[in-house]
Structure 1
Amino acid sequence: MKLPDLPALLARRAHLPGEGTTVYRAAHTTETGGVFALDLAGDAAVLSLYADLSREEETRLAAACGALPGVAGVYLKRRPPEARHLANVAREQLSPPDPVWGEARPEVVALEGGVPFLLRPGADLSTGLFSDARPLRAWVREHTPPGGRVLNTFAYTCGFGLNAALAGAGTVKNVDLSRKVLAWGQQNYALSGLAAPDDDFLYGDVFEWLARLARRGDRFELVVLDPPSFARGRGGVWRAEQDYARLSALAAGVTVPGGQLLAVTNHAGLTGAALERMVAAGLVKAGRRGRPTARLGAGADYPGATHLKAQVWTLD
């Protein structure tokens, strides 16, 4: 395997640390022939493999990543197409908890636009922040109505909710099916000196929570929808390409007139046009009208990326 010029790729991102961002993609798959991606989080590097390499090739690639300036340790993630099905049965094979090169960094605090986030490079396939969505979180920071109410669904470690709170939202509710990641989100709030009361971190199924919030009359100026492409839950199997209309209908039920939906998908096979059709169909089902007013995607450190699509909808 011929290695790309990693120092040259890193140099293209040299402006990011100066802008207060120390968690970002240093090499995207479009720059490595689809073989791997490299993410930096402070002084930890996360090497994601999308092709089968020999152990010798893995070792050589990890060492090349470790030779980059400022890297103390390199963690490995193996990401075969079937990873979503294997994650629970082959976790240590896909995501070894210890670094494959250099020093251990069980936890690091890295910055995104000056905002600190707690990351765990060896914990799982997901380390605590999806850096491709950095422009989306910046949009939330810039467009959250001061004193407004924000609902952040599929919150994960609450990056959208944290940015809304930092922007001066009066209320932010974060919803996720994992207590673990909600507690992680509360740690992120604490890093920015923000209060994180338990009743702002709602554990449970997002669909059930949307229906419950609608029944009790809770309404929001901004609702963030950032679901996985595929998931299994108590309500059955979620597939973004089939179920997004149902999700947007429920979200419309808790959005005030003039409010906004931020509809996000990272499903590589779902086009922006298909996402727009499903959101529109959901609004019709909910008896609402709306229009897309902005379209967003991954940051410049993901050159050529088409997997991440985001649309801002303003509802009448």
Structure 2
Amino acid sequence: MTQTIALQINNQFAGPLKKGYPLISKDAVDARKLPAEEGALLRLLDIHKKFIGTGYYGLQNKGIGWVLSTDPEEEIDTVFFAKKFKKAIQNREAFFNNPNTTAFRAFNGEGDGIGGLTIDFFDGYYMVSWYSEGIYSFKEAVYAALSETVNYKAIYEKKRFDSKGQYIEQDDFVMGTPAEFPLIVKENGMNYAVNLNDGAMTGIFLDQREVRLAIRERYAKGANMLNTFSYTGAFSVAAALGGATKTTSVDVAKRSLSKTIEQFSVNAIDYEAQDIKVMDVFQYFKYAQRHNLKFDLVVLDPPSFARTKQMTFSTAKDYPKLLMDTIAITEKNGVIVASTNNASFGMKKFKGFIDQAFKETNTRYKIVEEFGLPKDFRVSREFPEFNYLKVVFIQKLN
């Protein structure tokens, strides 16, 4: 039986929660009143003891838990989870019926009503990601609800939370018939190889689907393209299929070489005609400047935080410098695709970084397109801060 405790919300935080804000901030409650174990249900009350909502206690970097229901009579059980899943699947009917795209987000955490839980669809296979011990304590009800809601070939899971001081990013087969990997999925007609049972990542970031399509359709033709922090080369594949004369993919991870070759190969692209470098991106910028290399199209999608032997990088403080390095190796009228998934700042601040970099290099620019999360990554219009993805296509004018 899941423990339920009454918890009074500090007055300044009660208003947003009553209006539908789903995150329970650590400052919203008296920490001494929190339960000993994650997974407890929280009956949230205002200072007048009036009911606000039912949430769960689960620690993650965003807060101490999430509101699940504003109905005081609603039970948090298999029926509850099944109702949320069914609504999410209905909202994505167009995705499920699109044969040209067979990989997308089927359930997006707080955007679909359950913060801390996401579910991705890969051509009949589902991957459930858990972001706290608190939500993971409901796994039996979640899997029972998912089993009765969708037809699946198999279900996999990834636990992405801190357990006893050790950060865990692992995956595991849960139920069904195991897939043979790599699994080939389609995205707007392009092929991508994914692996749901091999470490923290799958091989493709699904939230960049619209950006890859834009690159293929509107920016790649005839371009000499540089893809930095390239991971498995997904942007490079889109550019090559869009008619780029050449792509260069740069990532410091050794396995990026074989993974990028794999992505080119499943699209029948001659990977030997492309350039794939296992190299620190920051060192590559210096290399490119020394050799006077210039590119028509540059994708800049760094991790929010990275540490190398030489330096520590954070998008929140170092993105302007990274952009300045990029501007130096971009051709006149070339396009920089500047991207970040750092949720700690919004699009306005990100555009400030862009403006700072161009001003400091005395370079004129024009923003030609911008993107946030695609429709399958549902977020509430009332709370745009949960739309973490910021992508800006910038044309260098001189």
TM-score (norm. length: structure 2): 0.73
Larger strand share, 1 or 2: 2
1:119 paired with 2:194, answer: yes
Distance 2:135 2:244 in 1: 50
Partner of 1:27: 107
SS at 2:320 equivalent: helix
- How much does 1:42 deviate? 1.4
Alignment of 1:202-217 (within 5 A): 202-217=277-292
SS at 1:99 equivalent: strand
Distance 2:387 2:262 in 1: 31
- How much does 1:102 deviate? 1.9
Distance 1:113 1:15 in 2: 13
Distance 1:246 1:268 in 2: 19
Alignment of 1:1-316 (within 5 A): 1=76, 2-3=80-81, 4-16=83-95, 17-29=97-109, 30-53=111-134, 57-80=138-161, 86=166, 90=168, 94-96=169-171, 98-105=172-179, 106-197=181-272, 200-304=275-379, 305-316=386-397
SS at 1:18 equivalent: coil
Aligned length: 308
Please give the per-residue CA displacement for 1:101-129, whole angstroms capped at 9, x wherever unaligned: 22222431111111111111121222111
In structure 1, stretches of 5+ residues that fail to align are: none
Distance 2:135 2:354 in 1: 44
CA contact (8 A) 1:65 1:74 kept: no
Please give the per-residue CA displacement for 1:186-218, whole angstroms capped at 9, x wherever unaligned: 111111100112861111111110121122111
- How much does 1:292 deviate? 1.8
Distance 2:250 2:363 in 1: 23
SS at 1:147 equivalent: coil
CA contact (8 A) 2:84 2:112 kept: no
The letter for the 1-side match of 2:101 is: T
Q: Structure 1 residues 200-209 or 139-148, which shifts more? A: 139-148
Q: Give the share of equivalent positions with the same residue, in percent.
A: 24
- How much does 1:184 deviate? 0.8
Distance 1:268 1:136 in 2: 18
- How much does 1:171 deviate? 0.9
SS at 1:197 equivalent: helix
Determine which structure has more spread, i.e. the larger CA radius of gyration. 2
Distance 1:195 1:178 in 2: 22
